């Protein structure tokens, strides 16, 4: 059992204390993140891009995710481990159950799924079977080919209405947490207010209940040389990785990150 549980995260939301989440893919960085005060370690399928060098997350396999989840578990010091189900590992209910079992048995405490209202039934069934789920909404990178690129989602009245309705439906279905990626800051603030479960943002402004960054982005490392608008390089002015992680946690907690310039307008 980790020190940080689903109830801890709910308590942080209720107290108004921001939650610091960071991606981790191995034991050493998982330990360093925990020692810096990170509450949730996300074993993200972003590993397909930052570790494996692919141009999307689509090539990542369930075996890759289980391998990295097990490594993070070995370095974890009390954080909640959230692991991504990779592309097409939850296309059917049976497959979803088997994929969740593989990641929970590797050490995950919560599972993240990308999608919208269609996830309501799988989330309901997983919650009944003891699997806490984080629903990832907005820019869901596994659907990059549907979106036609990594684009801000929820802009315009109809899209905003749809995103709000999806968030409510997934909370209703039993999601334990929501993650909003690249949505207008104002919309993210409304959704955070409207739901009781914690909402984590990336490119979603400062009003969400917490923030997440890809570790390599935080450290100023990029294979492509392109830095998304929502990223801040926390290595700048810091002597080492440990200090950069601590600076990130401090900035999330005191709400100095994200600044307005890291967010998107409607």
Nearer to ligand KIV, 14 or 227 (CB): 227
Instruction: State the DSSP code for 28.
Output: H
Non-local CB neighbours of 80 within 8 Å, separated by 6+ positions: 2, 4, 5, 6, 8, 9, 39, 40, 41, 109, 110
Instruction: State the DSSP code for 214.
Output: -
Count of residues in contact with ligand KIV, rule CB under 6 A: 12
Q: Is 217 in the site for ligand KIV (CB under 6 A)?
A: no
- Is 254 annotated to bind a ligand? Reply is no
Q: Is 202 in the site for ligand KIV (CB under 6 A)?
A: yes
Nearer to ligand KIV, 73 or 136 (CB): 136
Pairing of strands 133-138, 19-23: unpaired
User: Which residue in 13, 31, 39, 44 binds ligand KIV (CB under 6 A)?
Assistant: 44
Stretch that binds ligand KIV, among 30-38, 42-50, 90-98, 231-239 (CB under 6 A): 42-50
What minimum distance in Å lies between the beta carbon of 84 and ligand KIV? 5
- Is 229 annotated to bind a ligand? Reply is no
Nearer to ligand KIV, 106 or 161 (CB): 106
Stretch that binds ligand KIV, among 41-49, 103-111, 189-197, 247-255 (CB under 6 A): 41-49
Residue written as token pair 């603030």: 189
Please give the radius of gyration of the chain, using alpha carbons only, rounded to the nearest integer: 17
Q: Is 212 in the site for ligand KIV (CB under 6 A)?
A: yes
The pair of three-digit structure tokens given for residue 204, joined into one six-digit string: 């979603």
Q: Is 214 in the site for ligand KIV (CB under 6 A)?
A: yes
What is the DSSP track for 108-175? -SEEEEE-SGGGHHHHHHHHHTT--EEEEEES-GGGHHHHTSS---S-SHHHHHHHHHHHHHHHHHT-
- Is 3 annotated to bind a ligand? Reply is no
Catalytic residue annotation: 181
What minimum distance in Å lies between the beta carbon of 239 and ligand KIV? 26
Paired with 136 in beta bridges are 114, 179
- Is 84 annotated to bind a ligand? Reply is yes
Mask for 153-192, x = binds ligand KIV (CB under 6 A): --------------------------x-x-----------
Question: Coil, helix or strand for 180?
Answer: strand
- Is 55 annotated to bind a ligand? Reply is no
User: Which residue in 9, 42, 89, 246 binds ligand KIV (CB under 6 A)?
Assistant: 42
Q: Is 139 in the site for ligand KIV (CB under 6 A)?
A: no
What is the DSSP track for 54-109? -SSSTT--HHHHHHHHHHHHHH-SSPEEEEEPPTTTTSSHHHHHHHHHHHHHHT-S
- Which residues does the annotation place in the binding site? 45-46, 84, 112, 114
- Which residues does the annotation place in the binding site for Mg(2+)? 45, 84, 114
Contact footprint for ligand KIV (CB under 6 A): 23, 42, 44-46, 84, 136, 179, 181, 202, 212, 214
């Amino acid at each position: 059992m980790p020190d940080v549980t689903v109830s801890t995260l709910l308590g942080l939301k209720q107290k108004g204390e921001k939650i610091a989440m960071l991606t981790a893919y191995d034991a050493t960085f998982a330990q360093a993140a925990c020692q810096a005060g990170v509450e949730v370690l996300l074993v993200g399928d972003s590993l397909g891009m930052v570790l494996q060098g692919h141009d999307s997350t689509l090539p990542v396999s369930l075996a890759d995710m289980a391998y990295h989840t097990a490594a993070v578990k070995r370095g974890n010091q009390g954080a909640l481990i959230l692991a991504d189900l990779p592309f097409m590992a939850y296309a059917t209910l049976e497959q979803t159950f088997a994929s969740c079992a593989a990641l929970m048995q590797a050490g995950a405490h919560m599972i993240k799924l990308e999608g919208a209202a269609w996830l309501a039934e799988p989330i309901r069934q997983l919650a009944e079977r003891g699997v806490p789920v984080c629903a990832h909404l907005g820019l869901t990178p596994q659907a990059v080919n549907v979106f036609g690129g990594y684009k801000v989602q929820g802009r315009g009245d109809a899209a905003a209405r749809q995103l709000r309705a999806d968030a409510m439906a997934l909370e209703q279905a039993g999601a334990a947490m929501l993650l909003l990626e690249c949505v207008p800051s104002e919309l993210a603030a409304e959704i955070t207010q409207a739901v009781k479960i914690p909402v984590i943002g990336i490119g979603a402004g400062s009003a969400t209940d917490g923030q997440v960054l890809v570790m390599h982005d935080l450290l100023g490392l990029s294979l492509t040389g392109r830095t998304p608008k929502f990223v801040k390089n926390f290595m700048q002015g810091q002597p080492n990785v440990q200090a950069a992680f601590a600076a990130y946690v401090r900035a999330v907690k005191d709400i100095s990150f994200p600044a307005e310039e890291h967010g998107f307008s409607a």
